[in-house]
Structure 1
Amino acid sequence: MKTVLFCKRPYSFSILRPIHNESIRLGDDVMWYIDPEIVDRFPFKEDSHYTTSLQEIYDFKSDAIFVPGNVVPHYLRGVKTQIFHGLAGEKKGHFRIRNYFDLYLTQGPYFTNRFNELASKHGDFDVMETGWSKLDDLFLQKENFNTEKTNLLEKHEAKEIILYAPTFSPSLTSAEVLSDEIIALSKNKDYLIMVKFHDLMNEKVKALYHEIARSIENIVILDDPNISKYLILSDLMISDTSSVVYEFLLLDKPVITFKSSSDNIKWTNIETPDILCETVGAVMNSDINQEERKWIINNYHPLRDGKSAQRMIEAVKQWLSHNSVPEKRKLSFLRKWKVNKKYGKVKK
């Protein structure tokens, strides 16, 4: 199978990489499309076939295109396969059908059931539950960083690691309003606080935290685009309405959010910033939400064997066994115009 991995954002590297590795293992022909604006950050140049040219992708004439974003050019050949960039079903647009995709590969029953309803309504795409490729490493490497964690705690003379991972959306992020509370939390030297920003976080906010970290030894800013290792290393997460909350919960560890808009809050959520420090202390002492987390695990991503990328590839090949390779998608004039404006045209 000739496969394209369609990558527009740095956070997609870790979503698509397991599919790349599994495809290579199977002997498939794989090409990455990397947006020119992020190619300098692409970490797999040495062992990957990649391009920044949509013309080259068009000429490649793929059988399948895996897309963690919302849009893919309609004129590219292949099964246009939506694999999602997060687990936050409450976020605006997660269940919006934009007509670009032939196949939706879902993470768990919560998503599968909704997309099956939409498939029945629209009638021009299929849905298969495979799990999410990004989480393969999370499940397979759970025990790989024990020594690194021990060394980190010894270096900072701390007892627990707290990961603060706010979302970037101005209407949802807690980054600015919690900055003073993160400083206050750092006064407890038992805590090593690691801060991981979304790729699209406001630069002024990032600069604020870098300034804070320069003067506080137990606050560390993470620059690695792949958050999985830090989810494994951490004992507790602080966030807001971010998809990464669910990734952490799938490791069966406690979360505290600030004003989360989730429809399925199975963790500790606070509405005022001034109680953050005492809430962290309480949750560290008593993990009261452990039973509730089981609902998230069972409904959001029950497949925990680290083989989601394998299932994704198998799902596409199964689809192709019953359908011809799509040469393009039928779109409205307006959507075609938007694609051409965003990506440009290719020579056919």
Structure 2
Amino acid sequence: MAFNADATFVPGDWVPYFFPGIKVEVFHGMARNKRGHSSEDESDHYRIRGWFDLYCTHAEKDTAKFQELAELHQHFAVAHTGWPKLDPLLSEPVQGERPRAEDELPVVFYASTFSRSVTSAPALVDKIGELAASGRWKFIVTLHPKMDSSVVERYRSLAGPNLRFVESDEDLLPILPQADVMLCDTSSIMFEFMFLDRPVVTFKTKMPGPYLIDVDNVQELESALNTALQRPQELMNATRSLCDDLHSFRDGRSSARVLDAVEEFITHRSAGLRNKPLNLLRKLKVRRRLSKELKMSDRQN
């Protein structure tokens, strides 16, 4: 507030309404989540809560849907910009099969979410340790910040010549291109990895589809990884099709488009829009939430 911003960029679904400037929704992820791609998930992704002036969308489908909602509500605008988070990944020439020397071990990037109902981390720790120790594979492992600490310690203890443990606060985007294949469960990071045009193997995923090799038996894991390394044409075509559906741009310039959209909105598009809804109950909840977090911060300090 002291900075008196012209715009606040929000990767979540709420924002302190009393912040100055326009409120810009850039989204936490693409139009997929841990329960799959059902109509229930879509309704949540497209829920209009009355916080935002500008929605910066990622692909043709979600742009069209948000544009319909903008015409209905008439208190926000929509710009088809792409997702800024992908810029570092897409601005480097790292897409496609990773160049690998004949005697170089294939690298698997393993990422797992924390929710007990979908995480694969406890079930796979022994197998990943076994595969790393076999000398046939190298692993890069990262776990969600909210992962059970005892599980984190088990994976951290596996670190060695063939397994690198990456702490949850490290930036993962520069590390993703170092892997040939991703092993995952139902973490949204697998969609980010797919933009490298590389295959993904999952264990008991809640988001199955032809763009994944999914297994539900630990003993099938190494075979699935070997299949993924062959980059089956049907799998890779499905992966590319999904990426096209999720994100329109491959130029690594989504951040620039977001900034241009903000300039355009402030200069031209804000005129004629209705006022946002009063949202009295939601505003009260925001005040209470911020008050609680400030008190917790004061106690910690």
- TM category, shorter: 0.7 to 0.9
Q: What secondary structure is seen at the aligned counterpart in 1 of 2:138?
A: strand
Q: Which residue of 2 aligns with 1:221?
A: 165
Q: Does 1:208 align with 2:151?
A: no
Residues 132-184 of structure 1: per-residue CA shift (max 9 Å, x gap) = 1111111223359xx9x98xx99xx8421110011222322211122122123
* Shift in Å, 1:88: 5.2
Q: Which sections of structure 2, spanning at least 5 residues, go unmatched?
A: 35-40, 295-301
Number of corresponding residues: 280
Q: Paired residue for 1:189, among 135, 141, 144? A: 135
Query: Do 1:74 and 1:330's aligned partners in 2 also have CA atoms closer than 8 Å?
Result: no
Q: Paired residue for 1:77, among 10, 20, 40? A: 20
Q: Paired residue for 1:247, among 188, 192, 213? A: 192
Query: Do 1:69 and 1:84's aligned partners in 2 also have CA atoms closer than 8 Å?
Result: yes
Quickly say closer, same or farther: Cα 1:272–1:304, change in 2 above 3 A. same
Q: TM-score, normalised by structure 1?
A: 0.71
Q: Counterpart amino acid of 1:293?
A: T
Quickly say closer, same or farther: Cα 1:117–1:140, change in 2 above 3 A. same
Identity %, equivalent residues: 34
**1:171 & 1:114 partners in 2: Cα distance?**
30
Q: Counterpart amino acid of 2:89?
A: L
Query: Do 1:75 and 1:329's aligned partners in 2 also have CA atoms closer than 8 Å?
Result: no
Q: Which residue of 1 aligns with 2:204?
A: 259
* Shift in Å, 1:189: 1.4
**2:282 & 2:185 partners in 1: Cα distance?**
32
Q: Counterpart amino acid of 2:23?
A: K
**2:78 & 2:217 partners in 1: Cα distance?**
40
Query: Do 1:161 and 1:193's aligned partners in 2 also have CA atoms closer than 8 Å?
Result: yes
Residues 282-325 of structure 1: per-residue CA shift (max 9 Å, x gap) = 2223434111112122111231111111000001111112216x
Q: Counterpart amino acid of 1:234?
A: A
**1:263 & 1:105 partners in 2: Cα distance?**
27
Q: Which residue of 1 aligns with 2:287?
A: 340
Q: Does 1:233 align with 2:178?
A: yes
**1:233 & 1:333 partners in 2: Cα distance?**
48
Query: Do 1:104 and 1:128's aligned partners in 2 also have CA atoms closer than 8 Å?
Result: yes
Q: What is the correspondence of 1:48-59 to structure 2 with a 5 Å cutoff?
A: 58-59=1-2
Query: Do 1:250 and 1:301's aligned partners in 2 also have CA atoms closer than 8 Å?
Result: no
Quickly say closer, same or farther: Cα 1:263–1:318, change in 2 above 3 A. farther
Q: TM-score, normalised by structure 2?
A: 0.82
* Shift in Å, 1:120: 4.5
* Shift in Å, 1:339: 0.7
**2:22 & 2:118 partners in 1: Cα distance?**
34
Over the aligned positions, Cα root-mean-square deviation in angstroms equals 3.1
Q: Paired residue for 1:179, among 110, 122, 125? A: 125
Q: What is the correspondence of 1:104-119 to structure 2 with a 5 Å cutoff?
A: 104-119=55-70
Q: Counterpart amino acid of 2:87?
A: D
Q: Which sections of structure 1, spanning at least 5 residues, go unmatched?
A: 1-57
Q: What secondary structure is seen at the aligned counterpart in 2 of 1:257?
A: strand
Q: What is the correspondence of 1:263-302 to structure 2 with a 5 Å cutoff?
A: 265-288=210-233, 289-302=235-248
